[in-house]
Amino acid sequence: MASNLQSFLTTLMIFLVVAQTSARPSPNADMLNKLKSIFKVGQGIMVYNIGVSSEGLEDDEIVCAERRAGKSYCKEVENYIEATRLDKIDPEQFAKFKEYFKDDLEQTQMVATRMDVGDSKTKIIYPEGAESEDSKWLLVVQDEQHKQGVLIEECENVDSASEENSTLPVEHISKCKQNFSYRKLVVLVNGEMKEKMVKLPSNCECY
C-alpha cells in the first residue's frame, strides 16, 4: 500500500515538473494558485496535503446534497470545519451576534397548531451554507455552542400532482409550488462574522 502511494506521488510530481517545463502552454495563474492551496512541495519528492486554504471555500466550492438537488441551503457543507475554522475566531464576535444563536421555537409552537399540509414538511434546520440575495453561496455560522435553528416548510413534491388527487381528472389535480423568503443569519465573509440575508423555504402553496 505504501509503495503504491509513493509511486503515485512520484508520478504526480513528475507530471507537475513536466507541465511547467514543456513547450505546452503553462497552467493559468488561477489553476496554479488552486494547486498550491491543496499541495505543498518539500525537499525531495514529497507532497503534503494541507487541506482547504485558510481563506475558506469559494462560492462554487460550497457543495452539499441539498444544493445538488436544487435547494437554497446546505445542511452539511463538505470541509465545513476546515473552511470556517470557527475555533480560531475571536469569542467577542460570537458575543456580538448572540441574539442569532437560537432556534425558532416561538414559530414552532405556531406551526404545531396549524393544519398539516399533506404535500409539505415543516422542520427546524441548522444550515451550514445558504444562498444570498445576490445568488452567492455563503457559509453560515454553526457550531455546538452557537447554533442558528431556522424553521422551514418544504414541498414534498414540487410541481407534481398530489398523491391523494392522482386519480382525479387532470383539471382537478392540485400541484404544489415552493415559496421562499429571505431572513438574516450570521455568516462568514473573509473570516469575519456578518449579517446577511439568505434564501430559505418559507411555505408550500398547493393549487
Q: What is the pTM of this model?
A: 0.64
Tens digits of pLDDT across the chain (207 residues): 545 555 555 565 555 544 444 444 444 555 555 545 544 444 444 444 433 343 557 877 899 999 999 999 999 999 999 999 999 999 999 999 999 999 997 555 445 444 445 678 999 999 999 999 999 999 999 999 999 999 999 998 776 555 555 565 666 677 899 999 999 999 999 889 999 999 999 999 988
Instruction: Identify the helix (H) or strand (E) that includes residue 197.
Output: strand 192-206
The Cα 178–Cα 3 span in angstroms is 53
The Cα 155–Cα 119 span in angstroms is 6
Domains defined for the chain, CATH in brackets: 2-49 (no CATH), 59-206 (2.10.90.10)
The Cα 74–Cα 68 span in angstroms is 9
Q: HEC states along 29-88?
A: HHHHHHHHHHEEECCCCCEEECCCCCCCCCHHHCCCHHHHCCCCEECCCCCHHHHHCHHH
Contacts of 63 (CB under 8 A, 6+ apart): 74, 77, 78
